[in-house]
Amino acid sequence: MEHAPSKKRSRYLVRALKTPYWRPGCNYIGLIIRSLRKVNLKDDDIVIVSEKAIAVAEGNIVDESKIRPGLLARFLARIWMRIIWGYFLGVMCRMSRRTLYNLRNYPLELGARHKQLVIRTVSPLQALSFGSEGGIDATNLPYAYVSLPLKNPVEKAEKIRKAIEKSLGKRVIVMVLDSDRCYSWKSFHICPRSTFVKEIASKGGFMTYVLCNFLRLKASPTPLAIVGGKLDIGEALRIACIAEKYRGHGAGRDVWEMARRFGTELDKVTWKMLESIPHRPIVVIRKITVR
């Protein structure tokens, strides 16, 4: 394990575990157990698992190429994303030049299909967001597939925790983590999507994203579920940031970066391409108190 520094009087040993890409239908519980057998797992270790990886493994994905967009979805792709986000909201949120360029050239047909899915599955208000609307995510997925958010991340985390205790005899804390941002101001924490961590408010949708980025609030990945023990919310968010740093972003931070990496179009990334790069959906963190 590698050492990760902390501003608090604690240090963390961190190990990001490389596994094969989790395709739909794979035995991800078995992959987690086999991966954890390779480390010196101890009681009270924190095992962080990617929500996206679980969702894909369970087949919780949708092929957007089969979706027929309506007028609202086409308006959102052509006007809302290209103009409102590309020239106004994106600038307010201090997005990078690369992201603003991508928004101003937002794909009309692919984007309209995506917005239609968000409208149908989550809500029209979530469709106003610029990405990962309500937890729907297209990164690290092939073709026109997107993953849907887990409806019961606590149940998934508990299933993983019990499997670890049964197979390895270790009592650990399991966290299901999403890369969507959680924003913090002093002791107040909020995110645009739903989470089952009670200390984090799930309100506001795209307005939360815009306002928090405009105010430059501290951002971290969002813990969706924590089982097996208690973590102070401040420490949970620090651990989430450490896990994301060591886990990396797979094929890319967004669909544009992913397509550019493989030198292909947005909906032409294949399963084989994704399987060719390292994937680290599991991170093990051990807290060490510094005296």
How high is the pLDDT of residue 204?
84
For position 217, which CATH number holds?
3.30.1330.100
Whole-Å CA distances, 5 to 14, 128, 165, 235, 288: 10, 38, 28, 13, 10
What's the confidence (pLDDT) of residue 131?
A: 83
158 in the same domain as 29: yes
Encoded amino acid at 210, one letter: V
Distance between CA atoms of residues 67 and 62, nearest Å: 9
5 confidence band (pLDDT: 50, 70, 90): low
Q: Do 88 and 181 belong to one domain?
A: no
Q: How far apart are CA 204 and CA 226, in angstroms?
A: 23
Same domain for 261 and 170? Answer: yes
The answer to whether residues 139 and 10 belong to one domain is no
Summarize the confidence of residues 124-130 as an average pLDDT.
93
Q: Looking at residue 203, what is its pLDDT?
A: 84
Residue 100 sits in the same domain as residue 189: no
Residue 289: the pLDDT is 76
Task: Tell me which residue of 265, 122, 253 sits closest to 179, measured CA to CA.
Answer: 253
pTM of the model: 0.93
Domain match, 9 and 34 both: yes
Q: Is residue 56, in this structure, part of any structural domain at all?
A: no
Q: Tell whether 66 and 196 lie within a shared domain.
A: no
* pLDDT exceeds 80 at position 42: yes
| pLDDT at 33 > cutoff 70 | yes
Q: Are residues 132 and 271 in the same domain?
A: no
Residues 159, 46, single domain; the answer is yes
Residue 3: band (very low, low, confident or very high) from pLDDT cuts 50, 70, 90: low
What SS3 class is residue 119?
helix
Return the pLDDT at 270. 98
Is the pLDDT reported for residue 96 higher than 60?
A: yes
The model's pLDDT over 184-212, given as tens digits with 9 standing for 90+, comes to 999 999 999 999 999 999 988 889 999 99
Q: What is the pLDDT of residue 9?
A: 62
Mean pLDDT of 22-48: 97
Domain that holds residue 172: 2-51+153-289
Token pair 């307010």 is found at 92
DSSP assignment of 153-176 equals HHHHHHHHHHHHHHHH----EEEE
What is the C-alpha to C-alpha distance for residues 23 and 15, in angstroms, rounded to an integer? 23
Please give the Cα distance from 239 to 54 (Å, whole number). 19
> Is 29 a member of any domain?
yes
State the chain's mean pLDDT as an integer: 95
For residues 72 and 199, the answer to whether their CB atoms sit within 8 Å is no
Cα distance between residue 235 and residue 83, in whole Å: 39
Residue 40: which residues within 8 A CB-CB, separation 6 or more?
A: none
Whether residues 163 and 37 share a domain: the answer is yes
Residues forming a β-bridge with 191: 202
Tens digit of pLDDT for each residue in 205-219?
889 999 999 999 999
Note the pLDDT tens digit of each residue in 231-263: 999 999 999 999 999 999 999 999 999 999 999
Q: Are residues 29 and 170 in the same domain?
A: yes
> pLDDT at position 10, please?
76
Number of domains the chain contains: 2
Is residue 119 situated within a structural domain? yes
Mean pLDDT value across residues 56-60:
97
